[in-house]
């Protein structure tokens, strides 16, 4: 037993037999017993109610008696490791063997055993029967004790150690003997948890019937029990479009959805006005949709993810129609398509004008409630993820609002569909509870968080003093509405050639600039939409009416508002995060389709396409229970409540002031100061803690990105870097004791990066080519799992990155050239696929290939393993037409000569994959 049980709360301590005898002697009405109870159980009468902290032990005792039993839904981690297959293999290897097991083993194991009982019972069995060979299915040390008592018997002992029993050490025993001091110092918080657990145990029989009673089924159950009865080991957290659609596509695999509020309430999906982007028009193609998505993402969209997204558009629309969504159509049933900013074609599918989100949600809710494979648990608030000893996610720590108690929800696979984080800002179009808790859960569980700094601000929220701010959908501008100042002058012509249909980040900053300049910003829909406004956009019209504005005849006052988070939990093309057992879909995920700036109405499509991909992965997946997953200890000390309103007001003001549309190092550090002050707030709650974690992830990401790109604008770094790169943040364990990244984490990371072997190796090459104009860059050859760190270290060493990932550039090598039928064909196909927003690089190893590469329009030509003479001739022949990169045989001794040929770039795999490591203690990570 752990010390808090053994020393603090136990009235009697002993081995299983002693516990059983003491329990049989006592006249207590309620007995809380940790140990095997087969001896005492037969002595108790049918009025006894017994609590057992092990579901398998409870089943075993229930089979022997008529006693009512209340059980914890968990089991012993040691005995859980044994399987029936293990026993069958042992029998095959030891003919005639007798198998003896503890009753805490799973039922299939006990079914294979010859005898099940306590340690004393097993020992007595061996003494009485004296078998030749015995297999002991129990903890190693306990089986050693039995073997010691029976030296003439041959014992086979599969070794499973109990880590809790092993806390008792010889030094501790020696100290007790020397000092005769038996007191065990226990953290007061741990002792309090133990006391609360015992109190709950004692209260349970008074309100709940036994789940193993032979007489009747339980009328009221703990939440863990309710979830286990669903026979589902897949858990979805969140019930918006992403969560519901994923659950529906999992059919017939059982799945459980938990949602903090009644289904359809409190989420952002019903507020989605724009619609669903899909290339289904006669003049449209997925390739055009792909090009628009890539361009909007400002160099950070993953081409593979974008291709999956746009190719899935038509199927997603068809599936929703099949489910019952009634999209807007003409008299002939042809879907009506609208246009929004940065789309080159009309491809937005609407429902009841500006009510697409609500229409889709209504249908998905009805379908989910009617599906037998889906269990929906409402008013269950997730506080954190459970993680086991192997760093795998195994469910969630939750708060049951109705029962007013915490519980753990075990799951083999957990899908986050928790939505966005606009509620962290003072002006937002999101529901106020949307505070990015899912991002905090994933970060604390060790998952990689990608690009948290990219927050999209919708340029046209209604500026009417309502919190959250109603949204004036972008479709209004797609239908011809224009942005004007208070004089009625259209102002977007001053900011971008696309004018009112420019990407959102550009429009939002233009609106912000007009407001700060005192000229005001309004939306003029009087001519383009006019009398049709109430029918075409009923939601916006109702919001205007509530503010005493008639948009048919008057301009609509607008202001930018936090609207969508492009960053999130990094996932692969199938929705899996970097943490085992954890998946993410929807706004909480960074699937790669949005990059630095989301293309309008791609978000609903993303939720559908990638939700279906997750379902495809999990539908037939063989899952196993996670090993004793647990929640972070500090979470248990906090109240299971939302963030304090006053604290959130301070946080929202700080985020809007220092980490919104326009940022700087000074403003970001001021925001960090507020976050750190709030971490010491006496009103700290579980909800506030998660909000602060996510807020700091955004701020730290913004500090690390010393450039301006997409939705992230730094006034102190107004230009974009030549090479696009991702920000990836990963924490191991808790972020800090205060659940935030340490104040100087970025500075410490920079110090380590500058002193690490990668940075030192890079600096050595950079120093060697000084004065030649050549740049040293790394290659793709980085350590698995450390790509972001090593590529950053290269930059700290004075070098650059050849590319950060496959989203940065198309790289054509000799196998691509052969497959395409030549250099020209390869370049033509590559350019057709990605347009001119992504650089195209081709690798050649002969001089006679150079002319064809230049004629094909390659942006970069990699000269692979060429001699110094060939490099010199290539530079002369190129005459500045393309960037020339030399690669191969790059060492400290040769790099100077290579640089003096005049090449622009020299790439070296050695600086990352062969650089020596410095032996530094990284305790602060």
CA distances from 509 to 230, 458, 495 (A): 49, 10, 9
- Strand, helix or coil at 118? coil
In the residue annotation, 228 being an active-site residue is answered as no
SS3 category, 812: strand
Nearest C-alpha neighbor of 117 from the set 145, 134, 136:
136
Residue 107 CA to residue 84 CA, distance in Å, equals 9
Name the nearest CA neighbour of 354 among 204, 470, 203. Answer: 470
- How many angstroms separate the CA atoms of 714 and 702, rounded? 8
Nearest CA-CA partner of 385 in 394, 377, 376, 373: 394
Place of tokens 């069958």: 88
Q: Which of 228, 444, 504, 613 is catalytic?
A: 504
Distance (Å, whole) CA 154 – CA 94 = 11
Q: 528 in helix, strand or coil?
A: coil
Assess contact for 218 and 210: CB atoms under 8 A.
yes
φ, ψ (nearest 5 deg) of residue 580: -60, 135
468 upstream amide cis, omega within 30 of 0: yes
Rounded CA Rg of the chain: 32
Q: In what order do the strands lie in the sheet with 154-156?
A: 115-116, 98-101, 133-137, 154-156
DSSP state of 5: I
Helix H or strand E segment including 843: strand 839-844
CA atoms within 13 A on the CB side of 184: 16
Query: Is residue 849 reached through a cis peptide bond, with omega within 30 degrees of 0 on the bond before it?
Result: no
Beta carbons of 734 and 444 less than 8 angstroms apart: yes
Separation between Cα atoms, residue 11 and residue 805, nearest integer Å: 61
- 813 is written with which tokens? 């090598």
| Nearest residue to 105 via CA among 59, 167, 65, 38 | 59
Does residue 224 contact residue 408 with C-beta atoms inside 8 Å?
yes
In a 3-state reduction of DSSP, which class is residue 862? strand
Q: Are 724 and 300 in contact (CB under 8 A)?
A: yes
Catalytic residues: 504
């Amino acid at each position: 037993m752990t010390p808090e049980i053994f020393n603090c709360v136990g009235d009697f301590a002993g081995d299983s037999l002693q516990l059983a005898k003491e329990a049989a002697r006592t006249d207590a009405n309620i007995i809380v017993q940790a140990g095997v109870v087969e001896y005492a159980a037969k002595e108790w009468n049918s009025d006894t109610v017994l609590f057992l902290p092990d579901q398998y032990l409870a089943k075993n005792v229930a089979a022997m008696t008529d006693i009512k039993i209340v059980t914890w839904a968990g089991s012993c981690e040691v005995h859980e490791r044994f399987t029936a297959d293990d026993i069958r293999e042992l029998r095959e290897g030891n003919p005639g063997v007798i198998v003896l097991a503890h009753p805490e083993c799973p039922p299939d194991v006990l079914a294979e055993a010859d005898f099940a009982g306590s340690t004393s019972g097993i020992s007595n069995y061996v003494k009485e029967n004296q078998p030749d060979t015995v297999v002991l299915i129990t903890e190693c040390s306990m089986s050693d004790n039995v073997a010691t008592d029976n030296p003439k018997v041959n014992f086979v002992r599969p070794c499973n150690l109990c880590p809790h029993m092993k806390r008792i050490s010889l030094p501790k025993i020696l100290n007790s003997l020397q000092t005769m001091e038996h007191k065990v110092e226990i953290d007061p918080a741990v002792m309090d948890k133990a006391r609360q657990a015992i109190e709950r145990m004692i209260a349970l029989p008074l309100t709940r019937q036994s789940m193993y009673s032979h007489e009747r089924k339980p009328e009221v159950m703990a939440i863990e029990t309710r979830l286990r009865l669903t026979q589902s080991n897949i858990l979805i957290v969140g019930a918006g479009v992403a969560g519901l659609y994923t659950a529906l596509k999992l059919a017939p695999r059982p799945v459980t959805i938990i949602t903090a509020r009644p289904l359809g309430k409190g989420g952002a999906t019903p507020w989605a006005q724009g619609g669903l982007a899909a290339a289904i028009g006669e003049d449209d193609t997925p390739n055009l949709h792909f090009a628009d998505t890539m361009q909007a993402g400002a160099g950070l969209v993953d081409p593979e993810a974008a291709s999956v997204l746009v190719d899935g558009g038509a199927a997603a629309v068809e599936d929703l129609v099949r489910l019952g969504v009634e999209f807007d159509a003409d008299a002939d049933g042809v879907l009506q398509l609208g246009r929004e900013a940065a789309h080159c074609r009309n491809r937005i599918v609407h429902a009841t004008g500006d009510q697409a989100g609500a229409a889709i949600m209504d249908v998905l809710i009805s379908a989910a409630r009617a599906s037998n494979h889906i269990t929906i648990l409402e008013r269950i608030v997730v506080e954190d993820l459970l993680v086991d000893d192997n760093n795998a996610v195994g469910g969630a720590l939750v708060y049951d609002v109705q029962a007013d108690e915490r519980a753990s929800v075990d799951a083999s696979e957990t899908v986050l569909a928790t939505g966005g984080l606009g509620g962290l800002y003072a002006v937002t179009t999101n529901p106020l509870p949307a505070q990015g808790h899912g991002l905090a859960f994933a970060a604390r569980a060790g998952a990689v968080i990608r690009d948290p700094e990219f927050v999209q601000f919708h340029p046209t929220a209604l500026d009417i003093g309502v919190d959250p701010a109603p949204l004036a959908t972008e479709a209004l501008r797609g239908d011809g509405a224009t942005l004007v100042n208070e004089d009625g002058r259209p102002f977007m012509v001053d900011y971008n050639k696309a004018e009112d249909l420019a990407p959102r980040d550009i429009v939002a900053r233009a609106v912000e600039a007009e407001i700060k300049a005192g000229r005001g910003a309004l939306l003029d829909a009087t001519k383009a939409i006019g009398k049709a406004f109430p029918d075409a956009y009923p939601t916006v019209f109702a919001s205007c009416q509530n503010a005493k504005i008639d948009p048919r005849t008057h301009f609509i006052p607008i202001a930018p508002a936090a609207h969508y988070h492009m960053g999130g939990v990094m996932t692969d093309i199938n929705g899996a995060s970097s943490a085992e057992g954890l998946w993410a879909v929807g706004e909480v995920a960074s699937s790669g389709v949005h990059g630095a700036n989301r293309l309008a109405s791609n978000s609903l499509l993303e939720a559908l396409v990638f939700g279906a991909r997750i379902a495809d992965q999990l539908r037939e997946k063989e899952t196993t229970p996670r090993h004793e997953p647990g929640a972070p200890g500090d979470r248990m000390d906090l109240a299971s409540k939302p963030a304090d309103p006053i604290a959130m007001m301070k946080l929202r003001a700080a985020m809007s002031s220092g980490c919104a549309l326009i940022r700087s190092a000074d403003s970001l550090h001021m925001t960090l100061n507020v976050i750190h002050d709030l971490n010491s707030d006496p009103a700290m709650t579980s909800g506030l803690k998660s909000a602060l974690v996510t807020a700091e992830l955004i701020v730290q990401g913004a500090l690390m990105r010393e450039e301006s790109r997409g939705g992230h604008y730094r006034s102190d770094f107004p230009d974009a870097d030549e090479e696009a790169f991702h920000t990836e943040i990963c924490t191991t364990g808790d972020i800090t004791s205060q659940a935030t990244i340490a104040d100087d984490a970025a500075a410490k990371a920079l110090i380590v990066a500058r002193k690490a072997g990668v940075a030192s190796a890079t600096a050595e090459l950079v120093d060697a080519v000084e004065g030649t104009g050549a740049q040293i860059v790394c290659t793709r050859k980085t350590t698995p799992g450390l790509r972001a760190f090593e590529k950053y270290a290269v930059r700290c060493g004075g070098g650059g990155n050849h590319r950060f990932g496959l989203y940065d550039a198309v790289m054509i090598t000799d196998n691509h050239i052969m497959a395409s039928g030549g250099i020209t064909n390869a370049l033509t196909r590559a350019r057709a696929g990605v347009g001119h927003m992504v650089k195209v690089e081709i690798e050649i190893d002969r001089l006679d290939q150079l002319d064809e590469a230049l004629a094909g329009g390659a942006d970069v030509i990699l000269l692979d393993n060429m001699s110094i003479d060939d490099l010199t001739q290539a530079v002369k022949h190129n005459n500045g037409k393309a960037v020339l990169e030399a690669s191969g045989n790059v060492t400290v001794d040769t790099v100077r000569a290579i640089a003096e040929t005049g090449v622009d770039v020299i790439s070296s795999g050695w600086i990352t994959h062969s650089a020596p490591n410095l032996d530094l203690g990284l305790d602060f990570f």
